[in-house]
Amino acid sequence: HTYVGDLVLSLTNSAQSQIFYEAEGGSNDDIHKTFTLEGFSGAPAKANWVLKVQDRAAQDIGNLDSWSLEIQY
């Protein structure tokens, strides 16, 4: 995705939601990064996990090539 500063990323399970990336990176292209989220501590692994990617500008387009979720106890 061009201009990653337009993006907002959030992760949701059946009980809560957390924005973990918002308007960072300015005019850089693409996000290749590992995020550590502390807000889901104690959340069950067997939940409906949803990654939401929002582009807050209409000028660019992008694709989500892949993502994964690793839960550590």
Question: Which one-letter amino acid corresponds to residue 60?
Answer: D
Q: What is the mean pLDDT of residues 4-21?
A: 90
pLDDT higher than 80, residue 61: no
Instruction: Report the distance separating Cα 45 and Cα 60, nearest Å.
Output: 34
56 or 19: which leads in pLDDT: 19
Q: 11 burial class (0-12, 13-18, 19+ CB within 10 angstroms)?
A: buried
pTM: 0.81
What is the pLDDT, as a whole number, of residue 31? 86
Q: What is the mean pLDDT of residues 23-47?
A: 84
